[in-house]
Structure 1
Amino acid sequence: MIKNKKRGLGKGLEALIPEMSTLEQVEEEISEDRIKHININKIYPNVHQPRKDFDEDSIMELAQSIKVHGIIQPIIVTERKDGYMIIAGERRWRASKELQLREIPCVIKNYEDSQLMKVALVENLQRENLNPIEEALAYKDLINNHKVTQEQLAEALGKSRPYLANTLRLLNLDGRIIDLVKSNSLSSGHGRVLLRIDDGEKQYQIALKIMEEKLSVRETEDLIGKILMPPKKKGVKKKSKDYLLIDVEDTLKKALGTKVTISKGKNKGKIEIEYYNNEDLERILDIIANNTK
């Protein structure tokens, strides 16, 4: 008996995607008589696989492990007229091809075409092996094509609603920035900060500066804050401000990553927080919400 106890995401996800419970049962307890050794050339990747990029070094490391220990857990496939499509285990299949293995152990599980996309999406999300853009695309597909709301998905995945929203917003970046996040040249944190800039060309130029100068996310927030800050008007004398208010202003600016102005009247005052587009407003609201819990 081969057992593989993987870290799941709780009952919530199975309720949303019923097909996942059967996949987990197959992976958690596989009896030897269910394992079939299939010619590797008859096996091909799932066309619905949301993961598009596979790290070559990681595949080679896995190949070395398989060379020494063999394939500990069979891959799961579904039978098609032209062969067997992979449901779970594409990395193991790729590593086996590197070793030029003739056959690999498989378990055959039958799924309808309409089920395959959901299974592939959630299988990857459970293993948390998607890059931020692939993750965002997986969320988008589940929401748009499988009648799952953001609230339902966040609860099922054990993620916060702001986390889910912020991940989805990465898809609004300029295409060149999306490619940089995909390749890990930029972090998703840098990407979210760049959303404060509407113009795609400006986003890209700032991204080049981030990579060239190796700016942190915090340094990027400061840079964009300065870019978006309107120029000071000449010839207008500013009233002297209480040192305490100046200190509070600076604290809020650093926390929110934007211009903050505190005005003090006779018996009351006001705090003005600037935002530059809807994405920027959502970002600020998320920061405030997360710090008031």
Structure 2
Amino acid sequence: MGNNDEQPLPINDDETVQNIAIKDIKANPYQPRKTFDEQRLEDLAGSIKNHGILQPVVLRKTIVGYTIVVGERRFRAAQMAGLDQIPAIVKTLTDEEMMELAIIENLQREDLNAIEEAEGYRKLMDDLNLTQQQVAKRLSKSRPYIANMLRLLHLPISIANMIKDGRLSGAHGRTLLTVKDDYQMKRIAQQAVKEAWSVRYLEQYVNEHFGKKNETNSKNQATVKPKFIKQQERQLKEQYGSNVTIATRNKKGQITFEFTSEEEFKRLIHQLNEKYHRDL
């Protein structure tokens, strides 16, 4: 039903639902979402008029009233529906816990796009001083997944906007990042939107024009890579959450780890050091 589209905090048996006056409730200052779709709010307000609020909001008691922790859409829609009170559960939380829950609730939106998702992960890391591994654990996701999503934040703004408005997907964005050159990236993105390229077609295009071409011009690329080398590249990529290239020439070789930020560089060094000490 319309008013059940937000993911609530778990409610324990000993948590009492109270009716709290809407006039005593203030918005969450840590809410990362600043704009709300008016039409969807009106739809939710209509649902609330007909069925009431089925899932209580979560509040924190303050000196002068209450602050929303989870359920700001329901709160806004209840105001539009003309309600004087709203069912709520009051929790005791620190500022840090409020901030974390607001970001996590925002990450659980059904209409979240890949850029907004990546921005949510980055905000958790920056505001709460968390590592990628800690964010992954809190959200029950793999660390490589978090790392791959964060890579989208390195896209040019124009391409990020294409993902935000649905013209391209996050997978399109990750494929475009392999192009490296911003001008070429933007040109290809515009063409992909204009001709409605699938992710697979985009991958083929990028590999043909920027992958194999680069390999042909590379001094290190004398022959096609053996199958076992490609397997090792895939295994290392999965293990370290980073693109890995293995090049061999004249009985010598080189393993290259790709990173796109200082934070990713530090994480890779930490992982490699841990592996080294475990193997001693």
Q: TM-score range by the shorter chain?
A: 0.5 to 0.7
Q: How many residues align?
A: 240
Q: Which amino acid aligns with 2:21?
A: I
Q: 1:96 to 1:180 in 2, by over 3 A?
A: farther
Q: Is the 8 A contact 1:75 1:89 kept in 2?
A: yes
Out of 142, 145, 151, the position equivalent to 1:169 is 151
2:54 aligned to 72, 84, 100, which one? 72
1:55 shift after superposition: 4.1
Whole-Å separation in 1 of the counterparts to 2:14 and 2:156:
44
Superposition pairs for residues 31-110 of structure 1, below 5 Å?
Answer: 31=16, 34-39=17-22, 41-80=23-62, 83-110=65-92
The aligned residue for residue 185 of structure 1 is: 167
CA contact (8 A) 1:177 1:207 kept: yes
Corresponding residue for 1:272? none
CA-CA distance at 1:196 after TM superposition? 1.4
Change (3 A) 1:107 1:205: same
Are the aligned partners of 2:7 and 2:105 in contact in 1 as well (CA < 8 Å)?
A: no
Runs of 4+ in 1 over 6 A off after TM superposition: none
CA displacement, residues 93-136 of structure 1 (integer Å, 9 cap, x when unaligned): 22223323333233333433333211212334456664322322
CA 49–154 in structure 1, closer or farther in 2 if over 3 Å, else same: same
Give the match's secondary structure for 2:130.
Answer: coil
For residues 232 and 124 of structure 1, do their structure 2 counterparts lie closer, same or farther at Cα, with a shift above 3 Å needed?
Answer: closer
Structure 1 or 2, whichever has the larger Rg, is 1
Cα distance between partner residues in 2 of 1:133 and 1:95: 26
Q: How does 1:189-268 map to 2 (within 5 A)?
A: 189-229=171-211, 230=213
Q: Under a length normalisation based on structure 1, what TM-score does the superposition of the two structures give?
A: 0.63
Residue identity in the other structure for 1:107? I
Secondary structure of the corresponding residue to residue 104 of structure 1: strand
CA offsets 1:16-48 (integer angstroms, 9 cap, x no match): xxxxxxx6345x6643xx413313x54343221
Alignment root-mean-square deviation, CA: 4.4
Percent same amino acid among aligned pairs? Answer: 39
Note if 1:150 corresponds to 2:132. Answer: yes
Q: For residues 47 and 188 of structure 2, what CA distance do their matches in structure 1 show?
A: 41
Counterpart for residue 24 of structure 1: 10
